[in-house]
Structure 1
Amino acid sequence: MLTLIGLGLFDELDLTLRGLEAAKNADKIYIELYTGKWSGSLENLSEMVGKHLGELTRSDLEENSDKIVEEAKDKDIVIFVQGDPLVATTHASLLIEARKKDVEIQILHNASIFSSIAETGLHIYKFGQAVTIPFQDKTKGKSPQSIYNVIANNKERDLHTLCLLDIIGEKNKYLSVSDALEILLKLEEENGKGAITKDSKVVVFSSGKSSKIFYGVVKKLLKEAFELPAVIIIPAKLHFTEKEYLELYEI
């Protein structure tokens, strides 16, 4: 059996009791930490489950996942994943491969950024398609047009846009909020549809053991230094309850 277990948003204390039980009964446990920032202790987690944790790299899952699937044919294999197991598309691909080889699958969910953004007071059902803002060196200094198109389309449909900021977990490298906002403003300058300007009000949200919410116009937020990782939310027209909630965090 192949079991994917979500670790939640902060550390090993976010592990569910069901996840802990499954890990204790596993023959072998892997953990991947490259898709986000995890503030836990591998040593403490290993002590909790009573087993060694084999750390996986991106290539282990994206290029050599067949080895893990083969192991799961006759052993109980667990993979710990930050947040919720199926938010990253890499893990969905792993499950497809496992199903094709008739390997039994179990998913134990946990909190992720997609559920925690409700803490901002914005209504979850009003979110449209999310985007990821990449490091500029990945795109040779050019911001993908698709990002702007999604934001503009969401705005036309009166939907909020969640902007995930790029991360290179292996290098502990995170795209800053100010750099991400500059990228968005550059896209606005190139397109001019009014999807986001320096006078637009946006939300900056960092989640973890101590979540922080900031609400204000882009030109003010550009001057702030935020704890990373964080996300940016570009709100659509606010419901009066959303407005009342966010104004408590306005800067």
Structure 2
Amino acid sequence: TEESKTLGCGIASVIFVSGLISEEFYGKELILADRETVEQEADGILKEADVCDVAFLVVGDPFGATTHSDLVLRAVKLGIPYKIIHNASIMNAVGCCGLQLYSFGETVSIVFWTDTWKPESFFDKIEKNRQNGMHTLCLLDIKVREQSLENLMKGRKIYEPPRYMSVNQAAEQLLAIIQNRRLQGEEPEVTENTICVGLARVGALDQKIASGTLQQMSTVELGGPLHSLIVTGTMHPLELEMLKLFTVDSSSFENNAFQRTA
């Protein structure tokens, strides 16, 4: 969500925007402002804001990332006035699957594992939410303009192709953690049969939603990015009725879902 574009200052404004925006629409040249630019060159952005209007546009709500709070704090210190225009984000649009927003616990991020780095800390938060009867929204990893270790060490500005974690990749990592915990003598709160929800491209015309067991989520195909995964907690009967609209296998859904109803 940090990948942005910027309009040249010109007469009135510099605009940082996310996504594919037409230059014809704004009548200005669009210049890419990626995460590195936003985080490391914030002073340059604010220097322009001191002499002309700047609009900073992102995917989702402006305060879905701490980087954007940092820009506000920097602007205040420099005496630059600002105005916020809020937007929808996955944090509230996720309600489209039928799960009630006030029944969600702490949101977690699931990162891509590597051969030497396989963190599991987010799983503990999912379990804590589930023990409290709460659903967990899992935000899935995005790798944009990432450098290989070799290129990073040699200072070469060569970037890897972008990667976006899918629902089935996230589910596979969760299943691996479950197996690891069992090998350690634990019986996890989250299992292969826990009802989950996969979402893709929420808000777009081709958005996809699928509900089923965690095991089923490891094989579901929802197409292109961006994806999110929900691990359910205790569900209200109305939530169950909504999730039935998106089930990948109604028989297994019924068998597992009603074990966790309010």
TM-score over 0.5 for the pair: yes
TM-score (ref. length: structure 1): 0.80
2:251 alignment partner in structure 1: none
Q: Which has the larger radius of gyration?
A: 2
Is it true that 1:238 corresponds to 2:214 in the alignment? no
Residue 24 to residue 194, structure 1, CA distance change in 2 (3 Å): farther
Q: Is the 8 A contact 1:29 1:52 kept in 2?
A: no
The separation in 1 between residues aligned to 2:142 and 2:51, in whole angstroms, is 35
Q: Aligned match of 1:173 in 138, 157, 163? A: 163
The separation in 1 between residues aligned to 2:132 and 2:66, in whole angstroms, is 26
The separation in 2 between residues aligned to 1:241 and 1:250, in whole angstroms, is 15
Which runs of 4 or more aligned residues in structure 1 lie more than 4 Å from their structure 2 counterparts after TM superposition? 23-26
Is it true that 1:89 corresponds to 2:83 in the alignment? no
1:142 alignment partner in structure 2: 118
Number of aligned residue pairs: 219
Task: State the secondary structure of the residue aligned to 2:170.
Answer: helix
User: Offset at 1:25?
Assistant: 8.8
Is it true that 1:29 corresponds to 2:15 in the alignment? yes
The separation in 1 between residues aligned to 2:12 and 2:217, in whole angstroms, is 46
Is it true that 1:224 corresponds to 2:210 in the alignment? no
Q: Is the 8 A contact 2:135 2:230 kept in 1?
A: yes
Cα deviations by residue, 1:37-88 (Å, 9 ceiling, x for unpaired):
x4xx33x2x2222222222021111111011112212210122211222112
In structure 2, give the amino acid aligned to 1:123: Q
Cα deviations by residue, 1:66-111 (Å, 9 ceiling, x for unpaired):
1111221221012221122211221111111111212111111222
Runs of at least 5 residues in structure 2 that lack an aligned partner in the other structure: 146-160, 249-262
* RMSD (CA atoms): 2.2
Residue 54 to residue 250, structure 1, CA distance change in 2 (3 Å): same
User: Offset at 1:201?
Assistant: 1.1
User: Offset at 1:242?
Assistant: 0.4
Cα deviations by residue, 1:147-182 (Å, 9 ceiling, x for unpaired):
012101111211110001101234431112222112
Is it true that 1:68 corresponds to 2:45 in the alignment? yes
Moved more, 75-84 or 118-127: 75-84
